[in-house]
Amino acid sequence: MKEGKKPKTEDLLIEAKNFFDFYKKELGESIRKGQNVIYLDFMKLTEFSNQLSNEILSNPEETLSLVELAIEESGLVKNVRVRLSNLPKSQDIKVRNIRSKHLDEMIVIEGIIRQASDVRPQVVNAKFECPSCGTIISVLQIEKKFREPSRCSCGRRGGFKLISKEMVDTQRLVIEESPESLSGGEQPKRINVFVKEDLVEPKMEEKTTPGSRIKVIGILKEVPVPLHSGGLSTRFELAIEVNNLIPLEETFEELDISEEDERQILELAEDPKIFEKLAKSITPSVWGYQEIKRSLVLQLFSGVQKTHADGQKSRGDIHILLIGDPGVAKSVTLTFMANISPKGRYVVGKSTSGAGLTATVVRDEYLRGWSLEAGAMVLSNKGLVCIDELEKMDPGDRSAMHEAMEQQTVTISKANVQATLRSETSVLAAANPKFGRFDPYQSIAQQIDLPPTLINRFDVIFTLRDIPDRVKDDRIATHVLHEHTKQGEDMLIPREIFRKYVAYAKQRIKPELSEEAIAEIKKFYINLRNKPISSESAMRPIPISARQLQALIRMAEASAKLRLSKKVTREDAIISIDIMKYYLMQVGYDYETKTFDIDRIGSKFSSSQRNKILAVRDIIIELESRLGKMIPVEEIEKELEGKLDKTEIEDAINKLVINTEIFKPRRGYVQRM
């Protein structure tokens, strides 16, 4: 039997040498990149020699060491590693379908990295010296337990002296199946993957952070499970010893764009109506909402992130909040956007915790310590996170988003883990009004059950009202029925080209503001803030704050990116101003003073209301010095005659009572707390 096997090994060696003679050029390239690593395209190997490629699949370990030996013997490099890519589809196996028949075979799996341990050295070979006769014995270290030689040729047993040991770097990853491959109620299965040598180099390690999607090519091994009694269990664990890792998920910045794609993209950019076309490609199944679709396109392109001279960063990502009556296709829009963005994640408020959104510290069984698991906002770094039903989230969990949205980092300090993770993510959120539907008589701000600090972080807020209107209803009905009969419209610009267009713009274009654009935005900002107002109150409403100014700049930059232009022109500024006006008209218009008022969006009272409350409070303080603690309401009315009417005073007093500034000791009287 052994005799028959020997020539086979030699045959394979000769085959491998011939193959490398044949592919000298590719080898040269691999070696020039350094690191003693040769990347082999498996398909080329199959074309050259069937025998060799079949052996690699069925008996990978020995065959690969033979191939490595062949390269070393050709005198090109010492101590070389062969990394395979482009394996046949037949080797792709889902994690859940791995069985014992696949043991010791070369298999390919895909999944998401859930945990990554630290990189640590491991002993592969140890040399011992026998104290009696001086023989040097080398022992390969394969199992987890460190092995010593059992006996020496001179008969000595035990007490050997360790002279040297060879170490390699290893790391353990836990790979989980990606959600797309699951059906129904299946739980994603996990598998341990061991990575070593050049695959744990810092350059490679960046691509294997938890949350990234990868393809793993490796050999399936069994791992003995030690029992508490000291023996070994008959049940074995499975693990994959990795031959090569290929990152799958690219952000827009990493998407590959061929020359053909570039030609198509530049052709599209020439079209003067490109903005409209892109907007129409967003959720074609939903009718209308032109303004919203336009701002969603701008969100995909996003502004330019800048680092100032003092090291301060200002974000380029645009955050959008949709608040609307039920049945206005909020969730449809969110799922669509999560699918079209390369690192899109879709989460739902009720079932999302702060840890699931930002990051959490979990007990690591393997390393007996604590390890960090990233949540949705960190996993979709440089992507988009869509949060549905924002108002149903726990207030505590919601507060975790504040930092992630403005500073774009997630800082965590739990157990003994102190870490700051990057979360350069755009947020698209949807929420319902407090009572399920908008009340047309109340200000919109009072109906949004979200903290003002969070609302303020969104660049644009859209309210979607479902108000009956014959013409509009007719169009919506026609559109929906048409969708059902025709299996839906296709996107105006096909999906792949759409994604590549956005990627191209994000990779190549960093637009700068032109003088005209600056002048236009400045004019809008100053005029709006300093509008002459009709009411005589001392405090004027604040129409917009500097945060909205930042938002205007970001949207104008995104609009320039969309046209693949290096300069932000006046037209871009006008597009962003129009969206801002549309949003302010819906949310921030104070009908009493006929002006915009940012406080209507972010806080409970509009400016005009607040002024009245303050006026009443000041009068109460003034009267207190004259009339003592208890103040009759009539006196207050007398003092404010001609300025405020009775109901307004009553209103203000009620608000002060609610805020525990004053209380009513008895009817018709008020007293300060």
% of residues, the chain, pLDDT over 70: 85
C-alpha count within 13 angstroms, C-beta hemisphere, residue 653: 24
What's residue 2's pLDDT? 40
The pLDDT tens digits of the residues spanning 548-568 come to 788 888 888 888 888 888 888
What's residue 3's pLDDT? 40
What's residue 538's pLDDT? 40
What's residue 122's pLDDT? 80
Q: Which of 53, 38, 188 is nearest to 113 (CA)?
A: 188
pLDDT at 327 over 60: yes
In angstroms, how far is the first alpha carbon of the chain from the final one?
Answer: 100
Which residues on adjacent β-strands are paired with residue 364? 369
Burial class (CB in 10 A: 0-12, 13-18, 19+), 315: buried
Q: 591 pLDDT band (50/70/90 cuts)?
A: very low
pLDDT at 151 over 50: yes
pLDDT at 397 over 80: no
Q: pLDDT higher for 63 or 252? A: 63
Distance CA 476, CA 490 (A): 17
pLDDT at 144 over 70: no
Distance CA 285, CA 483 (A): 7
Lowest mean pLDDT among 29-33, 168-172, 376-380, 505-509: 29-33
Cα-Cα-Cα-Cα torsion 161, 163, 169, 173, nearest 10 degrees, comes to -10
Distance CA 492, CA 334 (A): 19
The pLDDT tens digits of the residues spanning 490-525 come to 667 777 788 888 888 887 888 888 899 889 888 888
Average the pLDDT over 59-70 and give the result. Answer: 81
Q: 129 pLDDT band (50/70/90 cuts)?
A: confident
Q: 5 pLDDT band (50/70/90 cuts)?
A: very low
Which residues on adjacent β-strands are paired with residue 569? none
Which stretch of DSSP H or E encloses residue 314? strand 313-314
Average the pLDDT over 604-633 and give the result. Answer: 75
Q: What is the CA radius of gyration of the chain?
A: 34
pLDDT at 7 over 60: no
Which stretch of DSSP H or E encloses residue 139? strand 136-140
What are the chain's domains? 2-86 (3.30.1640.10), 100-247 (2.40.50.140), 278-586 (3.40.50.300), 607-672 (1.10.10.10)
Q: pLDDT higher for 233 or 429? A: 429
What's residue 252's pLDDT? 58
Q: 365 pLDDT band (50/70/90 cuts)?
A: low
Average the pLDDT over 377-393 and give the result. Answer: 81
% of residues, the chain, pLDDT over 90: 0
CB 413 within 8 A of CB 394: no
pLDDT at 56 over 60: yes
pLDDT at 167 over 60: yes
Burial class (CB in 10 A: 0-12, 13-18, 19+), 509: middle
C-alpha count within 13 angstroms, C-beta hemisphere, residue 142: 5
pLDDT at 30 over 70: no
Q: pLDDT higher for 263 or 529? A: 263
What does pLDDT average to over the chain? 77
Structure tokens of 321? 């909040």
pLDDT at 592 over 50: no
CB 460 within 8 A of CB 318: yes
SS3 assignment, position 425? coil
User: How many CB atoms are located within 10 Å of the residue 551 CB?
Assistant: 21
Distance CA 227, CA 247 (A): 36
Which stretch of DSSP H or E encloses residue 431? strand 426-431
pLDDT at 4 over 70: no
The pLDDT tens digits of the residues spanning 440-494 come to 666 666 677 777 777 778 888 888 777 777 888 888 888 778 777 776 566 677 7
What's residue 394's pLDDT? 81
Q: 535 pLDDT band (50/70/90 cuts)?
A: very low
- What's the angle, vertex CA 216, arms to CA 214 and CA 219, rounded to 5? 170
What's residue 458's pLDDT? 83
Burial class (CB in 10 A: 0-12, 13-18, 19+), 229: exposed
**Diameter of the chain by CA atoms?**
117
What's residue 487's pLDDT? 64
Distance CA 143, CA 645 (A): 87
pLDDT at 602 over 60: no
Average the pLDDT over 114-138 and give the result. Answer: 80
What's residue 635's pLDDT? 79
What's residue 395's pLDDT? 79
CB 205 within 8 A of CB 160: no
What's residue 300's pLDDT? 85
What's residue 653's pLDDT? 81
User: How many CB atoms are located within 10 Å of the residue 397 CB?
Assistant: 16
SS3 assignment, position 308? coil
CB 412 within 8 A of CB 361: yes
